[in-house]
Amino acid sequence: MRLVLLGAPGSGKGTQAARLTSEFGVPHISTGDLLRAAVAEGTPLGLKAKAVMDAGHLVSDATVLGMLEHRLGHTDVAAGFILDGYPRNLAQADALDQLLQRLGQPLSAVVKLEVPIEAIVERTALRARAEGRTDDTPETVRKRLQIYQEQTAPLADHYAKARLLKVVDGIGQVEAIFSRILEVLQQPQVVTD
């Protein structure tokens, strides 16, 4: 199972990725985790990323893709992976498509968790209180959602055209959402002319 999870910040991707990892026995790969690990380990790409982040800039797509390619070369991804947080835009999706084609590991599916904006704002407010997170104010969340709408939401069309997109209602109990994901992953791909 080679899967990409899409959804707005706060849609539950991380929660569902953990369950899918357990279900399918494949690693959950978060590009944010890859960046932090590479910086902590002092790898060449990590040092490059740290210099960029320390200067207050975003790490380039090429650097992130390089870290992802390195991670996909590990033996634990032979049976597949679950990508969370990447791709974030169409350029990254194209680069990922090319990388996976070169590695002979095409995506099995892309699951988009569909959650209304107000539900996300409410969820993140609860998370902020429970975890003491000061970065999850309603204003900050709305800004993240605006960036998601502009940059990441178009990925749904990209993957729908590739006949990989599976949209799942992300509202309800965690277990119910997980069951919906498993159900859509078991559906055959629909091929049309």
Residues serving a catalytic function are: 13, 88, 127, 133, 144
Helix, strand or coil, per DSSP, at residue 146: helix
Strand extents, DSSP E, the chain: 2-6, 28-30, 81-84, 109-114, 165-169
Cβ(150)–Cβ(46) below 8 Å: no
Q: Specify whether the backbone of 3 is left (phi greater than 0), alpha (psi in -120 to 50) or beta.
A: beta
